[in-house]
Amino acid sequence: MYTKIMVPVDLAHVEKLERALDTAAKLSKLYNAPVAYVGVTAAAPGPLGHNAAEYAARLEAFAKDQGARHGISTQSRPVVSHDPAVDLSDALVEAVKTTGSDLVVMATHIPNVADHLWPSNGGRLATHTNASVFLVRS
């Protein structure tokens, strides 16, 4: 039913992603669909790397680790953004297209007032791509 699953990951908060990662792995096995882990970073140095290349290496290691742990086929897709705090949704929309994913599995928080001011990333993916979106409460 699905040919490729995309999982947006924030490497700074992997502990909050456990359920989403688990769900994605199980769906991957069920449909025999590879998982693409997408991370969005800025080119400026950050906690996850001095530059985009270091970040890419870290994301790749993460994808390999997930593959080995769950016995699934994985890949990584880092996306460099000028302003990740604001452009995250757009970056993810673009990543759905470039990875050719038809299912997005992503962790989500409990909605609050701020969601009325800043639209959720999941909602934006559902309205701006053809992929199905599976939001997983952490």
Partner 1 sequence: MSDAGIPAPEGPSALIETDYEIGQDNITAQIGPFGLDIHNPVFLISGLTAVAFVLLTLAFQEQAGPIFNSMREWLTSTFDWFFLLSANIFVLLCLFLIVSPYGKVRIGGKEATPDYSYSGWFAMLFAAGMGIGLMFYGVSEPISHFSSSVAEDAGTADSWAPLGGAAGDVVTARHLGMAATIFHWSLHPWAIYAVVALALALFAYNKGLPLTIRSIFYPIFGERTWGWPGHVIDVVAVFATLFGLATSLGFGAEQANAGLNHLFGLPVNDVSKVLLIVGITAIALGSVVAGLDAGVKRLSEINMILAALLLFFVLVVGPTWAILTGFFTNLYEYARYLPELSNPFGRTDDNFRDGWTSFYWAWWISWSPFVGMFIARISRGRTVREFLTCVLIIPSLVSVFWMTAFGGTAISQIVDNGYQVIVDAPLELKLFSMLEAMPLQAITSFIGIVLVIVFFVTSSDSGSLVIDTITAGGKVDAPTPQRVFWATFEGLVAIALLLGGGLGALQAMAVSTGFPFTIVLLLASFAIIKGLASEPR
Q: Which residues bind partner 1 (CB under 8 A)?
A: 41-47, 50-53, 56, 77-87, 90-91, 94-95, 97-98, 112-115, 118
By C-beta, is 22 or 87 nearer to partner 1?
A: 87
Minimum CB distance to partner 1, residue 89 (Å): 10
Work out the number of other CB atoms within 10 angstroms of the CB of residue 67. Answer: 19
What is the distance between the alpha carbons of residues 122 and 128, in angstroms, rounded to a whole number?
10
Q: Which residues contact 76 (CB under 8 A, 6 or more apart)?
A: 36, 37, 38, 39, 56, 59, 60, 62, 63
Minimum CB distance to partner 1, residue 18 (Å): 19
Minimum CB distance to partner 1, residue 11 (Å): 12
By C-beta, is 22 or 54 nearer to partner 1?
A: 54
By C-beta, is 14 or 44 nearer to partner 1?
A: 44
What is the distance between the alpha carbons of residues 22 and 4, in angstroms, rounded to a whole number?
16
